[in-house]
A and B are shown apart, each in its own frame.
Chain A
Amino acid sequence: MEKIFQIGLTHYLVVAAILFAAGMFVVATRRNAVAILMGVELILNAASLNFAAFSHFVHGHITGQIVSIFIIVLAAAEAAIALAIVLAIFRHYRTIDAEETSLLKD
């Protein structure tokens, strides 16, 4: 029982999996572009968490943690660009509904 509460690798992985699943759910279900972006942030954070956890518990080096930092930077850049795109879409379509912007279909 004690073992359950002793924080280990599994805990991190579970949290990360929940985060990932939540993110994936948001991305897959929401139509609002900003919401989708938020989902993507969740997925990235899940991945980041996994890196840090594996780095700490399995490897013992800081390589994974550095990759996490990279992921955070990447997420920031991604958010900036994606928000700019969303803004442009809004200007053009007066909406940010992802379903409405299906021009590439045909």
Chain B
Amino acid sequence: MGELYASFIRPKEINLLYLIPLFPLIGAFINGIFGKKIQDKLGKRANHGIAIAMMVAASGVALYAFLGMLIKQPAGHRMLHDHVFPMIHIGSLHLNFAFAMDPLSGMMTLIITLVGTGIHIYSTGYMHSEKAYWRFFCYLNLFIFSMLLLVLGDSFAMMFFGWEGVGLCSYLLIGFWYTDKKKASAGMKAFVVNRIGDFGFVVGLFFLFWGLGGYWQKGQYIDETRGAKDMVTLTAGPSVLPQSGEFVAVDGFTRKGVTATWIDPAHAAHHPGESLNLLAEGKGGPGAGAEQVSVVVGPTMSFNELRGQLSITDGGGRRPLAEHLAKKKVWGVPILFFVCLGLFIGACGKSAQLPLYVWLPDAMAGPTPVSALIHAATMVTAGVYMIARLNFLFVLTPGAMTVVALVGVMTALFAASIGLFQYDIKKVLAYSTVSQLGFMFIGVGVGAWWAGAFHLLTHALFKACLFLGSGSVIHGMHFLEHHGGHGGGDDDKPKDNRLAADPHDPQDMRNMGGLRRLMPKTRWTYWIACVAISGFPLAAGFYSKDEILWKAFSGGNILVSGKLIWAIGLLAATMTSFYMWRSYYMTFWRREPTAEMKEHVHESPLSMTSILMVLAALCLVAGPLLGFPMAFSGKEPLLERWLNPVTSLAPFRALTHDKGLEIGLMMVSITVAALGLWAAMALYKDESKTADKLLRLRRQNDGVHKVVYAKYYVDEIYNATVIRGYMALCRVLAWVDTYIVDFIVNAAGAFVRGVGWLSGKIDKYGVDGAVNGVATLVMAGGRRVRKMQTGRVNNYVFGIVAGVMLLFIVTVVAL
């Protein structure tokens, strides 16, 4: 056994991170408990005042923690940790209520707090005529709290709390207008589908906890009992480990009372003891010659401890614990495959991937700011975040990574194709979101963790901008609900698709058109976001999407050819460009606005447009700033460098570094984006010229259009298989319940009733008869004997005398 090395990130303990989720929780509490009263007495201004103040406070703390503390840490130990209180300590399970901020969660925290604040401000405009204003802001704050818990939690358990919390808030907000049955059931659908995913998450977690039983080779740490958690101190060899900073001892804080084993690197000897004592003796600290690092080994829920033990490396560059975990099998399949697959199913549920994506399009029933915040920018990216966070785990199972990448690319293509023919502007954006999430999963699936996270970031910006822009449009088109629009058409017949099925629907793009002059600010911000999402250079989406596609093309981490994924992804990107520009032209161009629209439609208030402008500006800036490609600058992009400490254990294996090829593929990407734009422009920019062409095209491809427009009948298939099957099962069970279980229960009941009847009779005539008989006897006797009581003293005296005489006689005679 040679020397062992480990790379353990030693977090800086800072009692501040808990404030970030605490503020929104306070806001949710105040608005949830006193919101109605506040709204009645002080007005809506006070409601959103509280909510926004809490968001600003949370953002402030997050920015301070990020800029003031996290960046200043050395790269190898860039992690802030906040231990709030110990939660559960049972056996080998040590759970603390603790937060951790590393580069990845820091990035997420900033997205959540800053985009969240913006959307809170936007909501004040969008929801201003809402009666249950307080309830809306309560839910929004509660959501931010849960999301921050998910992102900042330092263990699987904390993440799971947030994971469930955001699911709850999503349900509450989708069904915000719960009097509408369709909206309420959309909320339920989201919740139920998410539960399926959560089940996978939990199962994966259990497999992982079980799999971390221990093991090691040759007399060093063998503990398959899963009972004990140990801490071992190892030499750190910076040369062996990628991108690791200097190594120091682990802080004893989270490890209080844990038995540790100090392994003398020179003699490979064991010195067991209590960890804090070992640290005090200097055995856990940096040694004189070689540097040392303490790593917790054994079952753990903490991300950092998990990462630390998987990082243990021996002199030959092998990782004994990671290899042991990767080799461990159940039912002939590596346990890690189950772990990663389970976690990925969880991610599929939350991040709306095939086949669990069905809830997200329906989730658009919620208020538009909610769609922007939860169902585009933050919550749906939780799955991507989780896989990026667990990169060191996923990288051990190429099989699971392949599944992730394939599901991602299939989803990207599938959802993009549905988006092609939707008329509801929010539905287009919803399928676009599903599709973009697919791109993110391609990124993390092929091992380009930072590219997935980068696309997550840029998508949060441009999709929030798009959704809020669509909200602004819907806000403007709201008059349709009260006024009649133009005549209606029948959805099923390809007669005239210029007319909406429902002329009162403010979300139907067929009711829009020509809004570019009426809503200039909305139009330009929407335009910028479209440029960003469809992947034109200099806007955010180009850098992130292209990075993902390039990494897919050149990567060697997965089992199938990356070029296939690249090709499908490119097709999806083409579609993305087309449907986004289609929505832009249908909404803002297409035709001159009607007189009615000119009268009623106006630009949204500043509270809404200002947020749009900020997001649009970020869409332009964020891409080149954070992800300028290495092919041009020669340097790693800023975000990649920033996320390096997080992903150092799971390096991307590039098969080619050909710069020319990369630039060439980039050109291809730009070309397909332009192709999408050109097609959309040609078909939708001016209705008067293109209507016939459109109609002809549609007639020619009526079958395809029908299937795609109906979303491939996925909902119907689910209905026919899963729901029908489930209902059939329910009916069978109901039959069993009615005729078998109930029969047994009733028979048992009848039997008991018979016994009871018998017992009653015995009681009535047997027991009661005896008791009553005795009583009657005593009463009758008493009636007789009572006569003796005359009440006369004299009689008694005679009685006494007679008695005495009798006794006397008896005594005398007897003796």
Give A residues with C-beta under 8 Å from B: 24, 27-31, 36, 98-99, 101-106
Contact = CB atoms under 8 A, between A and B. Distances in A.
Contacts of A98: 792-794
Contacts, number: 30
Contacts of B801: 24, 28
Interface in B72-90: none
Nearest to A33: B793
B753 to A, nearest CB: 48
B792 A102 contact: yes
Contact of A102 (B786, B790, B797): B790
Contacts of A104: 789, 791
A36 B801 CA distance: 15
28 contacts: A24-B797, A24-B801, A27-B793, A27-B794, A27-B797, A28-B794, A28-B797, A28-B801, A29-B794, A30-B794, A31-B794, A36-B793, A98-B792, A98-B793, A98-B794, A99-B792, A99-B794, A101-B791, A102-B791, A102-B792, A103-B791, A104-B789, A104-B791, A105-B789, A105-B790, A105-B791, A106-B786, A106-B789
Contacts of A24: 797, 801
Nearest to B795: A28
Given A30-B794, A103-B791, 6 more contacts: A24-B797, A24-B801, A27-B793, A28-B801, A101-B791, A105-B790
A14 to B, nearest CB: 18
Contacts of B791: 101-105
Interface of B: 786, 789-794, 797-798, 801
A36 B798 CA distance: 13
Max chain A Cβ within 10 angstroms of own Cβ: one of B789, B794, B801: B794
9 A-B pairs closest in CB distance = A102-B791, A105-B791, A98-B793, A28-B797, A27-B797, A28-B794, A104-B791, A105-B789, A99-B792
Nearest to B789: A105
Nearest to B794: A28
Contacts of A27: 793-794, 797
Contacts of A102: 790-792
Nearest to A24: B801
Nearest to A104: B791
A85 B457 CA distance: 107
Nearest to B788: A105
A101 B794 CA distance: 12
Nearest to A105: B791
B808 to A, nearest CB: 13
B409 to A, nearest CB: 106
Nearest to A98: B793
Contacts of B790: 102, 105
A63 B274 CA distance: 89
B147 to A, nearest CB: 89
Contacts of B792: 98-99, 102
Nearest to B801: A24
A31 to B, nearest CB: 7
Max chain A Cβ within 10 angstroms of own Cβ: one of B789, B793, B798: B793
Contacts of B798: 28
Nearest to A26: B797
Contacts of A103: 791
A41 to B, nearest CB: 14
A29 B795 CA distance: 9
Nearest to B786: A106
Contacts of B789: 104-106
A27 B798 CA distance: 9
B267 to A, nearest CB: 104
A57 to B, nearest CB: 23
A98 B796 CA distance: 12
A89 to B, nearest CB: 11
A106 B783 CA distance: 10
A43 to B, nearest CB: 10
Max chain B Cβ within 10 angstroms of own Cβ: one of A31, A104, A105: A105
A23 to B, nearest CB: 10
A9 to B, nearest CB: 20
A105 to B, nearest CB: 3
A96 B794 CA distance: 14
A105 B789 CA distance: 5
B779 to A, nearest CB: 14
B336 to A, nearest CB: 97
A103 B793 CA distance: 12
Contacts of B797: 24, 27-28
Nearest to B804: A24
Contacts of A106: 786, 789
A27 B790 CA distance: 16
Contacts of A30: 794
Contacts of A101: 791
Nearest to A39: B797
A16 to B, nearest CB: 15
A92 to B, nearest CB: 15
B782 to A, nearest CB: 12
Nearest to A31: B794
A95 B801 CA distance: 27
A103 B786 CA distance: 13
A106 B790 CA distance: 8
A101 B801 CA distance: 22
A3 B81 CA distance: 127
Nearest to A101: B791
A103 to B, nearest CB: 7
A12 B107 CA distance: 126
Contacts of A28: 794, 797-798, 801
B801 to A, nearest CB: 6
A27 B795 CA distance: 10
A34 to B, nearest CB: 12
Nearest to A103: B791
A101 B792 CA distance: 8
B788 to A, nearest CB: 10
A28 B794 CA distance: 5
Contacts of A99: 792, 794
B790 to A, nearest CB: 6
Max chain A Cβ within 10 angstroms of own Cβ: one of B786, B789, B791: B791
A31 B801 CA distance: 17
A31 B794 CA distance: 8
B364 to A, nearest CB: 93
A27 B308 CA distance: 112
Max chain B Cβ within 10 angstroms of own Cβ: one of A29, A102, A104: A102
A2 to B, nearest CB: 32
A105 B788 CA distance: 9
A106 B792 CA distance: 12
A106 B369 CA distance: 93
A59 to B, nearest CB: 23
A56 B786 CA distance: 46
B5 to A, nearest CB: 107
A75 B789 CA distance: 27
